[in-house]
């Protein structure tokens, strides 16, 4: 198979991924990540839980120590996963040549998977012992992972097209109007429930929200929306609608409520995302620079694993 064939297959996979396939795609990442964590914890518990002075006498020391067959291999695999995870996402995001190679959100999910499992493998590679300049790289990696989780939260608050481009306020308002029209004309909502929808949908309440206030709004809205949707479900039970129609109505109502919040907090989240980039990038650079130095020194001292 040529490189063009591989590129074509990848493009078809990421572009034509339907909802069912996407759920399988995400589930596979989740299952692999959990399985790796459980297997490493179970198989290495007796060694990793042993105090540092006694690890040398543990039967698994030669296998699981940082320079051991498995320990060294975990470090190499974890490092490669992080390098590949960062590289492919940056290439897909920044180079116009690859803009049509699948949806950006699917590449972001792949990036998150590699950059979550990779640090986990590196953690076990260290045998939970951190010292010297490597400790700086390790804690930078921890901060990169934590900030990555925060960044993912902020990212999903900014509405985007399926290709990953941010939507403008004009686009969002048009989409929100379309969702509201669909909900209110297709499903008869009683006056009191409609008033609650209008109250939660007030975009003006978000205008003066600070960064902390935005987070508070999101948390409060999460519970308010759940309560309101439960009331809406009860109203739907009284209607003579097929099950699929009721499900679609709830989905539409949820979209409308969440869309209003995202419109109201768009500017705040865009600003917060810029600040996040400023904080996330330096830790990533420090981590990779020290990681490269660590790998170079390891090779210089003859620790080449099976190569």
19-30 pLDDT per residue, tens:
678 788 889 999
The predicted model gives 259-272 an average pLDDT of 77
How confident is the model over 141-149, as a mean pLDDT? 87
Specify the residue for token string 């409308």.
256
Which of the given ranges, 3-7, 107-111, 170-174, has the highest pLDDT on average? 107-111
Give mean pLDDT, residues 137-152: 86
Contact 187, 248 (CB under 8 A): no
Indicate the length of the chain as a whole number.
307
Q: In whole angstroms, give the CA distance from residue 115 to residue 149.
A: 11
Alpha carbons within 13 A on the beta-carbon side of 126:
20
Residue 183 · residue 249 · CB < 8 Å = yes
Q: Does the CA dihedral 73-76-82-88 come out positive or negative?
A: negative
User: pLDDT at residue 230 above 90?
Assistant: no
Which has the minimum average pLDDT: 28-42, 103-117, 227-241? 227-241
Give the residue-averaged pLDDT of 270-277: 82
Nearest to 34 by CA among 22, 45, 44, 42: 42
CA atoms within 13 A on the CB side of 98: 15
The residue among 162, 158, 192, 176 whose CA lies nearest residue 256 is 176
Nearest-angstrom CA–CA distance, 241 and 186: 11
What is the average per-residue pLDDT within 166-183?
A: 68
pLDDT band at 42, cuts 50/70/90? very high
Compute the Cα dihedral for 270, 273, 275, 278 and give only its sign. Answer: negative
**Cα(11)–Cα(5) distance, rounded to whole angstroms?**
10
**Cα–Cα distance between 292 and 137 in angstroms, integer?**
10
- Considering only residues 215 and 123, tell me which one the structure prediction assigns the higher pLDDT: 123
- Nearest residue to 19 (alpha-carbon basis) of 257, 258, 256, 251: 251
**Predicted local distance difference test score (pLDDT) of residue 96:** 79
CA distance 257 to 198: 9
* CA–CA gap between residue 170 and residue 167 (Å, rounded): 8
Domain boundaries along the sequence of the chain: 3-165+272-300, 169-270
């Amino acid at each position: 198979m040529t490189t063009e064939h591989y590129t074509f297959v990848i493009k078809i996979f990421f572009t034509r991924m339907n909802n069912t396939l996407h759920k399988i795609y995400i589930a596979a990442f989740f299952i692999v990540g959990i399985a790796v964590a459980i297997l490493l914890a179970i198989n290495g518990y007796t060694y990793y839980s042993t105090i540092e002075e006694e690890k040398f006498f543990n039967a698994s020391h030669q296998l699981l120590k940082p320079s051991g067959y498995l320990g060294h291999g975990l470090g190499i695999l974890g490092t490669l996963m992080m390098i590949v995870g960062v590289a492919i996402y940056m290439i897909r995001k920044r180079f116009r040549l690859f803009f049509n190679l699948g949806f950006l959100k699917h590449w972001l999910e792949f990036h998150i998977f590699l950059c979550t499992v990779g640090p986990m493998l590196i953690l076990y590679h260290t045998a939970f012992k951190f010292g010297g300049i490597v400790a700086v790289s390790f804690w930078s990696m921890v901060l990169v992972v934590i900030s990555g989780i925060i960044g993912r939260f902020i990212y999903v608050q900014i509405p985007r097209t399926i290709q990953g481009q941010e939507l403008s306020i004009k686009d969002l308002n048009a989409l929100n109007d379309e969702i509201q029209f669909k909900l209110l004309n297709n499903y008869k909502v009683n006056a009191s429930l409609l008033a609650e929808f209008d109250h939660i949908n007030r975009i003006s309440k978000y205008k003066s929200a600070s960064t902390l206030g935005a987070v508070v709004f999101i948390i409060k809205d999460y519970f308010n929306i759940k309560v309101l949707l439960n009331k809406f479900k009860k109203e739907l039970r009284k209607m003579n609608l097929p099950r699929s129609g009721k499900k679609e109505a709830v989905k539409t109502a949820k979209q409308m409520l969440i869309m209003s919040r995202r419109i109201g907090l768009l500017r705040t989240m865009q600003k917060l995302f810029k600040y996040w980039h400023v904080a996330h990038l330096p830790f990533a650079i420090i981590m990779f620079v020290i990681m490269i130095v660590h790998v170079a020194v390891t090779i210089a001292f003859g620790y080449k694993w099976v190569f």
